[in-house]
Structure 1
């Protein structure tokens, strides 16, 4: 078991990104270019719309700290938007308003399970986007009066309302220039 302070200290020197869950450290895998293009498009689109406003997007080099009653976790979301940022001297954020994870074969189960459960406990979180990297589909969890509601947006015409930020996010901009894999056609026997 490693303490959060030791994790943060050694993470600064680590040649690979590692996430921290309740005293254990897990190395992150590498991602395909498609994953990085989608994350980059999302970051650039959010940055352009947030220019001059108090909220700011952070890329996957910024950790997210989640404090639970009996442990702490640090994750590296693909993108997060924070309206009340930590000190510029920190290497993590505590109060994201929007979190974006790009789904890949190696991350889908964690992003849709463990991280979903953890992220939805963050009091400041308004929207969690799960962006598929194999087809134009984004699953969105948005906070409402009675908790989080799940919606699905599909195709180039899909537009995700980000009321907490005051603008919409078109799927066409998230997937701009992305070559998606061909869908397999399964024939009935």
Structure 2
């Protein structure tokens, strides 16, 4: 899902919500939010480039895994992490076999093998640090892909053993991202198809100045 996560200051007593209260609010809300152990964190819409990359990866994986026992899901499917009591919406998830639903809620899964996040300026530090640590509490989690939307740059973490991960970087559009969880390669040219880097790197104040003029 193309979204920007904004973590605010520590909650006060009246800002604390149980997971059940969060789910009830989420069902009625116009916009999605994530949940971090009692704190509800609003999410804002992502860019068109963010959406293009998520869609490109989902299509590539869906086609490559056709006929195999995997499911590919985009950002509307919620992920529950029991250990840290977190609900989040990864941009892309790959699940082996059948999805394991939390409390039989078919919009909430618990068993991704691969998680893909498209980085934005406001989320990249969180996605690379705390969020990765949270994902590592998922028993089935084996591979983490981080895709920069402002340049051709992909990071890959593959689980080797308990608390040990390999790390790879891809920054050449003529190369391919090679997954370790299954025999699939996705060309970076396909990952970044139709992505407009010039628009992504354009200063935010430029459009505001144009409107004022």
TM-score (norm 2): 0.79
Task: State the match for 1:41 in structure 2.
Answer: 56
CA contact (8 A) 2:26 2:33 kept: yes
Match of 2:177 among 154, 160, 167: 160
Superposed counterparts of 1:86-125, under 5 Å: 86-87=100-101, 89-125=105-141
The answer to whether the aligner puts 1:81 opposite 2:69 as a matched pair is no
Deviation of the 1:25 alpha carbon: 0.4
Q: Alignment partner of 2:158: what SS?
A: strand
Deviates more, 1:3-12 or 1:40-49: 3-12
Stretches of structure 2 lacking an aligned partner (at least 5 in a row): 1-15, 203-213
Task: State the match for 1:136 in structure 2.
Answer: 152
Deviation of the 1:89 alpha carbon: 4.4
Deviation of the 1:9 alpha carbon: 2.3
**Aligned Cα root-mean-square deviation (Å):** 1.8
The answer to whether the aligner puts 1:50 opposite 2:65 as a matched pair is yes
Deviates more, 1:15-24 or 1:147-156: 147-156
2-structure distance, mates of 1:181, 1:110: 24
2-structure distance, mates of 1:149, 1:129: 12
Deviates more, 1:164-173 or 1:15-24: 164-173
1-structure distance, mates of 2:61, 2:142: 15
Deviates more, 1:85-94 or 1:149-158: 85-94
Q: Alignment partner of 1:28: what SS?
A: strand
Q: Alignment partner of 1:95: what SS?
A: coil
2-structure distance, mates of 1:64, 1:89: 11
Deviation of the 1:144 alpha carbon: 1.2
Deviation of the 1:44 alpha carbon: 0.9
The answer to whether the aligner puts 1:10 opposite 2:25 as a matched pair is yes
Q: Alignment partner of 1:152: what SS?
A: strand
CA contact (8 A) 2:94 2:115 kept: yes
Q: Alignment partner of 2:138: what SS?
A: coil
Task: State the match for 1:187 in structure 2.
Answer: none
Stretches of structure 1 lacking an aligned partner (at least 5 in a row): 185-189
1-structure distance, mates of 2:38, 2:112: 22
Q: Deviating runs (4+, > 6 A) in structure 1?
A: none
Deviation of the 1:158 alpha carbon: 2.5
The answer to whether the aligner puts 1:66 opposite 2:66 as a matched pair is no
TM-score (norm 1): 0.89
